[in-house]
Amino acid sequence: MPLKNVLTILQRGCFRLSKFCQKTVLPQSRMNKLGPWLFLLETVCLCYIGTNQIIPTLWTRFGSSLVVMNQVFTWFLGAEILMNWLCVRFVTSSFQPSLAQIQLLKQDESPEQSTNYMMSPVEENTLRQRPIAEKSQSSSKKYFTWSTCKSCKHVRPARCHHCNICKTCVLARDHHCFFSGNCVGYKNLRHFFVFLFYSMYATVYAFIHATAYYCVELWPHSSALEILPFVTFIRNVFGQSNYHTGVLILVWWGLGMFLVIGAFQFIDLLLEIPEGVTAYEFNSGIELEDSRTLMEKIRAIFGKYWLLNFLVPVHFIFPPIVDPVNWPTIAGIKRGPDEFL
């Protein structure tokens, strides 16, 4: 079986498992409040313990310049992760229809009931370009048409989905990110990708350092069972182990959790981008008839100079090169959600 198919099956299995956990173990609203704090606590603890304790202990024997290099690298990773996390949290892709869009849809549905709003020729021209008519006649009409959101009570274009947590409709909605407490859509998907890219790198880097530190410094002086967080907690409460070991074990387990969740999200994105689909579409088995090249799909997420995003957030200077309302390069869908389910 090709690697891509294995990854796809694994990814969809994890997606369904996370949905099941959200329903049974931790409700979405609670996870949305807890997630950002968990992320901030883990990041601050890692940067602090890493640069003050672990890096000097492990690297001093190889020279002070290597200590400084590792410390600077750690703070660079921390700054990139935090910058992009802030962008994922505060850059929103929510959709509010203009009067013209509401008017045009009413005309399409019932011309005799249309109101008297007058569109400018440019406005009408742009809106008329949205290929509702052709798309609604194809087999993909259920998915690839404008519809009315039952919660927001307004019209929304194709690929715009409602989020029950953010309580808004989001353009090209990918998924809701519980670690940032916001929806990932067409505007902030680039920040989510860069955030995951650096987070993955930082997690592996920190995991190797934390494991080496545990083996060199803590293992000879502590019990093997102390690697289990609840044992460490109980020993900490009864004063049988030091507080420092307890924090390190918790951070180590936190790293493992971020590594597993982040890896699946990152694999998901790497599979989605070449297909030009969102996480919802990918996990529902929807395939698009998309005429864009790979580079056009990348620029639709990252903007003109896509590599620049890995240094500084530039969404306001170089916005995504895509029309998230009309989707002129997409002719419809090859395979729909009904066929998958």
The residues of the shown chain that bind Zn ion, judged by CB under 5 A, are 149, 151-152, 162-163, 165-166, 169, 176, 183
Cβ–Cβ < 8 Å for 106, 117 = no
* Distance in Å, CB of 35 to Zn ion, minimum: 12
* Distance in Å, CB of 324 to Zn ion, minimum: 15
Nearest to 325 by CA among 105, 121, 115, 117: 105
* Distance in Å, CB of 153 to Zn ion, minimum: 8
* Distance in Å, CB of 117 to Zn ion, minimum: 22
Task: Name residue, tokens 């067409």.
Answer: 186
* Distance in Å, CB of 182 to Zn ion, minimum: 6
Nearer to Zn ion, 148 or 240 (CB): 148
Nearer to Zn ion, 89 or 297 (CB): 89
**Distance between CA atoms of residues 194 and 200, nearest Å:** 10
Residue 22: φ, ψ to 5°: -60, -35
* Distance in Å, CB of 161 to Zn ion, minimum: 8
Q: Which residues contact 112 (CB under 8 A, 6 or more apart)?
A: none
Is 148 in a helix, a strand, or coil?
Answer: strand
What does the H/E/C string look like for 61-113? HHCHHHHHHHHHHHHHHHHHHHHHHHHHHHCCCECCCCHHHHHHHHHHHCHHH
* Distance in Å, CB of 150 to Zn ion, minimum: 8
Nearer to Zn ion, 7 or 152 (CB): 152
Q: Which two tokens stand for residue 263?
A: 């890896």
Nearer to Zn ion, 154 or 335 (CB): 154
Cβ–Cβ < 8 Å for 200, 193 = no
Nearer to Zn ion, 64 or 151 (CB): 151
* Distance in Å, CB of 187 to Zn ion, minimum: 13
**Distance between CA atoms of residues 152 and 59, nearest Å:** 56
* Distance in Å, CB of 154 to Zn ion, minimum: 7
Nearer to Zn ion, 97 or 131 (CB): 97
Nearer to Zn ion, 169 or 288 (CB): 169
Nearer to Zn ion, 163 or 277 (CB): 163
Nearer to Zn ion, 74 or 188 (CB): 188
